Structure 1
């Protein structure tokens, strides 16, 4: 298993992971439109953002997340990390890949001097919530969103 930064070639596999949590989508069938390409380029160009993948070793993407380092005045100016879009391919769940992916992402945040890691998860993803709790994440806040 290889933990690495996502490349542009991984984009179809990442879109497939984000598109359907319940089944495996063949990345060869995924259309990478201009919006996805533009978003990937923007995240890739931002030094505070990382798109991280677990690669089977042959280029097959089995897991993905985005790690963003956020500076701020809260917590006495300590930088925090935000983890978003955590996905493991449906047919590979339960084998420890998500644990490996998140453990490595937390280690990356620590290496960058972050003193807090936070993540959000859709309220309907109750299995994911149990998983995050098993890794030591605590439900400490309620989140709110405003669609623009």
Structure 2
């Protein structure tokens, strides 16, 4: 497996992973909108953001995650890494790829000097919660969100 920064060519495959957690979505069926293009470009231009992919040797994207590095005064002034959009293609789950992807992300955060890696996960994603706990993540906080859509 290859772990690398996502390129624009990976965008349909990443969006396919995010589109449906339960079934494999063909990246060719994904319509990449202008908002997706802007967001992807902004992630790539921001030194505190990384969109990362896990690919097979022949190039098929089978996993992704976004890492955002957040400066703060806590953790002795060290950054914290926020992990989001973690996905492994449904037909490739159960073989350790998710654990490998998360370990690589944690290593990246550690190499950058982060004092903490954090993530949020939808309360409906019980299997994902068990996965994160197996990796050593603790349920230490309650999260709150405010939807700003009209």
Q: TM-score range by the shorter chain?
A: over 0.9
State TM-score, norm by structure 1: 0.98
Structure 1 segments, 4+ long, off by >4 Å, are none
RMSD over aligned CA atoms reads 0.6
Q: Residue in 1 aligned with 2:144? A: 144
Q: What are structure 2's unaligned runs of at least 5 residues?
A: none
1:1-148 → structure 2 map (5 Å cutoff): 1-148=1-148
Give the whole-Å Cα distance in 2 for the aligned partners of 1:83 and 1:126.
17
Give the whole-Å Cα distance in 1 for the aligned partners of 2:78 and 2:46.
20
Task: Give CA deviations for 1:49-94 in whole Å, capped at 9, x if unaligned.
Answer: 0111100111100000000110011233121100001000010000
State TM-score, norm by structure 2: 0.97
Q: Is the 2:75–2:116 contact (alpha carbons within 8 Å) kept by the matching residues of 1?
A: no
Q: What are structure 1's unaligned runs of at least 5 residues?
A: none
Which secondary structure state, in structure 1, belongs to the residue aligned with residue 64 of structure 2?
Answer: strand
1:115 Cα deviation after fit = 1.1
